[in-house]
Amino acid sequence: MLSILANRALERDGLGPIRDKVLAGERLTDADGLRLFEAADLPALGALANHVREARHGALAFYNRNVHLNPTNVCVASCKFCSFARKDDQRASDGYTMSIDEAVGKVLSRKPLGVTEVHIVSGLHPDLPFEYYTELLSRIRAGWPEVAIKAFTAIEIHFFAEKFGMSYEQVLRRLMDAGLQTMPGGGAEIFAPRVRRKICDDKATADQWIEIHRTAHRLGVKTNSTMLYGHIERLDERVDHMRRLRELQDETHGFQVFIPLAFHPEHNMIGKAFPKPTGYDALRTLAVARLYLDNFDHVKAYWVSLGERLAQTALSFGVDDLDGTVLEERIYHMAGSTVPQALSERTLHQLIRAAGRVPAERDSLYRVLKVHDAPLPEEPPARLQVTA
Ligand code: V47
């Protein structure tokens, strides 16, 4: 139930009809989505989103134990928001490309951490053969059969298809044979052509991004979806972006989660013109997403992109997932993020519990592995290091 205060605030803002639709389980229009973005009262909007979130997931808040691998940051694309990519891997440019041995060794060294998912995203490297990617996956698969491999954005799939003369389906089948199980949602940015022309005009288009996810879903690969916000896009373009995702979801039901990504302004070509989105904007975007994307099970506050505290607060604004332990993040740290490189499972539990939720560890397919009704047992005190 919504509180009397939230109801009053929604009515004062003229959002009574939208509230009634949400409570009746009716779909919101694009105009409704835009009204919610423009609404004045964030707590009331949050209460409405929270209502939907609790109806779907009760008190549970999901997370997973995952590691990230970015095998190279060498990239032929020129996305203006990106601080991670380098044009070559010469020392002077701090570009890097891991050998397959190095990349596989890095992943396998994480085995003792109890991780359940490896998240792999790369730059669009001009020289690596396709076998680099298939061998990377198959060697991780052979060395660690239980770990789920979530790999390669639609942008990379499009690049492989063009470079190696294959269809999207052929690329995906080869990668699936090598071990790919799910796909991350990166590269979506903002679908509107006006925005793409200005910030990322030399990579896969919105239609291609959608087509790749459609193909993946048809092949049985679940995927994630993202939206990079807080730069040159208008609010109606955020709604348009979510509409296209909602339409594909109606068709395929292959998306697992929607993840709004807050723009990070440091060390990239457009950062000086656009400061980081405010906390209000971040919470509003998550809440609108929860209300508008009525056919998505999950809305994620990626703590690396929001900071731990805002991600925690978002658990009352429509969010049910915080992503994971994320060992060794690079893309956001190179764009000015000052959050830790990783969070322990214990810290994730503390954040979730302090928000009045119950931590639920999930796997890559959002199956619940364990609901943590009780706190984790105390760790034995670290042994004192005595030096002479
Ligand atoms: O595609 C790049 C974004 C994405 C910046 O699917 C930036 O579970 C903000 O997609 N400021 C890659 N954002 C990360 C990504 C992701 C992360 C975590 C989980 C999942 C998932 C996906 O990061 C890129 C781009 O949209 N990005 N540069 C920047 N300066």
ipTM for the assembly: 0.99
Residue 272 confidence (pLDDT): 85
Q: How far is the CA of 1 from the centre of ligand 1 (A)?
A: 35
Domain at 145, CATH number? 3.20.20.70
Q: How far is the CA of 361 from the centre of ligand 1 (A)?
A: 22
Of all protein residues, the one whose alpha carbon is nearest to atom 27 of ligand 1 is 82
Residue 91 confidence (pLDDT): 65
Residue 232 confidence (pLDDT): 96
Q: Which residues make up each annotated binding site for [4Fe-4S] cluster?
A: 75, 79, 82
* 43 and 149 within one domain: no
Q: How far is the CA of 388 from the centre of ligand 1 (A)?
A: 46
Q: Which residues make up each annotated binding site?
A: 75, 79, 81-82, 189
Q: Is the CB of 15 under 6 A from ligand 1?
A: no
Q: Is 382 inside any structural domain? A: no
Residue where a domain terminates, one of 13, 34, 55:
55
Q: Is 12 inside any structural domain? A: yes
If one counts the domains in the chain, the total is: 2
Secondary structure, 3-state, the chain: CCCHHHHHHHHHCCCHHHHHHHHCCCCCCHHHHHHHHHCCCHHHHHHHHHHHHHHHHCCEEEEECEEEECCECECCCCCCCCCCCECCCCHHHCCCECCHHHHHHHHHCCHHHCCCEEEECCCCCCCCCHHHHHHHHHHHHHHCCCCEEEECCHHHHHHHHHHHCCCHHHHHHHHHHHCCCEECCCCCCCCCHHHHHHHCCCCCCHHHHHHHHHHHHHCCCEEEEEEEECCCCCHHHHHHHHHHHHHHHHHHCCEEEEEEEECCCCCCCCHHHCCCCCHHHHHHHHHHHHHHCCCCCEEECCHHHHCHHHHHHHCCCCCCEEEECCECCCCCHHHCCCCCCCCCHHHHHHHHHHCCCEEEEECCCCCEEEECCCCCCCCCCCCCCCCC
Q: Give the residue ranges of the chain where pLDDT is below 50.
A: 384-388
